[in-house]
Structure 1
Amino acid sequence: MPKGKKAALVAAMELFSEKGFDGTSTVQIADAAGISQATIFKYFHTKQDLLLAIVKPVMENFFPHYRDEFFDGIHNCETLTGMVDFMVHDRYAFISENKEAVKIVIMEMMTSAEMRGLFVKLVSAKDFDFLGELLHEFRRTGEIRDDIDAAGIVRIIAGQMIVYLVQANFTPVLVTHEDQDLQLICEQIVRTIKK
């Protein structure tokens, strides 16, 4: 990849995650990358094209890979507690390691129909039923409540994780013992979904 293109992508990722897509100008990206605006537009016709150049590969290439690793990890768990513990720790580690890209994807999914469409396409791929497979794995332990469906599992776990991530990023004084906090989250989730 040419140096100018790579510099634009790196600077855009940092600025988009910090200031949001709409709060970032191509002038700011060029300044942060140490290149001219003309160099940005040489590789990307619009700022939206630059955003998609960051997000599309993450979603199209990394999502299936991480999805498969994720389900391999769940499949190796024998109990509901083990599955929840794996999900919470695995997703927390993934988000922590990919914080900038995750922030960009989340912010853009809230405002961009194109981004939401790309995400829905990935989650509902014809070759893999994400929600169906997730429910199958949780049901195989025989420990989950009968009234909990796959969407419910995702909402319950994601809700706990999102609130914790917001606390960690915006009110870090509330997050004093990460390992203990994650363990408590796991215990709360298990109490909510267990028979």
Structure 2
Amino acid sequence: MEPDVFSSYRQWLDHEKMPKGKKSALVAALTLFSEQGFDGTSTVQIAEKAGISQATIFKYFHTKQDLLLAIVEPIMEHLFPHYRDAFFDGIRACGSLPEMVSFMVHDRYAFITGNKEAIKILAMEMMISQEMRDLFGKLLTVDDFNFLAELLKMFRETGELRDDVDGPGIIRIIAGQLVGYIIESNFAPSIVGGEQQDLQIISEQIVRTISK
């Protein structure tokens, strides 16, 4: 069985059926963008690391931006899982809004730690690129009623959710907290504490924001 992209972008990429040169370009770009940043990485460097020519890169990706999007779009699309039975089963097992929030924070943080390179790239680009922020917001607010409506229904059933908070709002708040934490961890590690303690604090902050 092929791995789920929700678990690991690298593992998913290993099993994707695509030309070897294209896959090599993605793997090399993933590493270099995370280490040097998008602007600090040239296609010459990507080609050298991948063991291919620049012509091969541009055969599959018209621009360096297209190569970046091929890495971050799957991550943005799956930062929150769609149609995932285990995810909803985990939420249903929770008895209160704080428990649901804590479950989501820990579940999605596990996703983030399994995709550290791509998430780091996403976090860096969102800080400096309005286009990337707009794309992220657009992907989070797609009318995916099967996911968002079910999520909102379960949160509402606790009787603890504020009336003015909707499904996309829940996602934006949790995503914002987690991405912010990744930015802090990478660029200001001295201000973060222990991982479990920090996740608990994040969960409590989210609950205060969305609860009555």
Scaled by the length of structure 1, the TM-score of the pair is: 0.76
The whole-number CA distance in structure 1 between the counterparts of 2:172 and 2:69 is 27
- Sequence identity of aligned pairs in percent? 65
**Contact kept in structure 2, 1:124 and 1:130, CA below 8 Å:** no
Task: Kindly report which structure 2 residues correspond to 1:53-92, keeping only aligned pairs within 5 A, or say none.
Answer: 53-58=70-75, 63=78, 66-69=81-84, 70-92=87-109
2:147 is equivalent to residue 97 of structure 1: no
Structure 2 CA distance for partners of 1:189 and 1:101, relative to 1, 3 Å:
same
Q: Give, in angstroms, the shift of residue 30 of structure 1.
A: 0.9
Listed one character per residue, the Cα deviations across residues 30-62 of structure 1 (whole Å, up to 9, x for unaligned) are: 1221222122233333323323433445556xx
Structure 2: runs of 5 or more not aligned: 1-17
Q: Secondary structure at the match of 1:67?
A: coil
2:144 is equivalent to residue 141 of structure 1: no
Corresponding residue for 1:7? 24
Amino acid at match of 1:120: K
The whole-number CA distance in structure 2 between the counterparts of 1:7 and 1:64 is 24
Q: Tell me which moved more, 146-155 or 174-183.
A: 146-155
Q: Give, in angstroms, the shift of residue 13 of structure 1.
A: 1.6
Corresponding residue for 1:29? 46
Listed one character per residue, the Cα deviations across residues 123-167 of structure 1 (whole Å, up to 9, x for unaligned) are: 414x53654443322111112233444455345434433332222
2:205 is equivalent to residue 162 of structure 1: no
Larger C-alpha radius of gyration, 1 or 2? 1
The whole-number CA distance in structure 2 between the counterparts of 1:106 and 1:154 is 16
Q: Give, in angstroms, the shift of residue 29 of structure 1.
A: 0.6
Corresponding residue for 1:190? 207
Amino acid at match of 1:80: L
Structure 2 CA distance for partners of 1:155 and 1:43, relative to 1, 3 Å:
closer
Structure 2 CA distance for partners of 1:185 and 1:112, relative to 1, 3 Å:
closer
The whole-number CA distance in structure 1 between the counterparts of 2:177 and 2:132 is 27
Corresponding residue for 1:178? 195
* Among 80, 92, 111, the residue aligned to 2:129: 111
Structure 2 CA distance for partners of 1:11 and 1:119, relative to 1, 3 Å:
farther
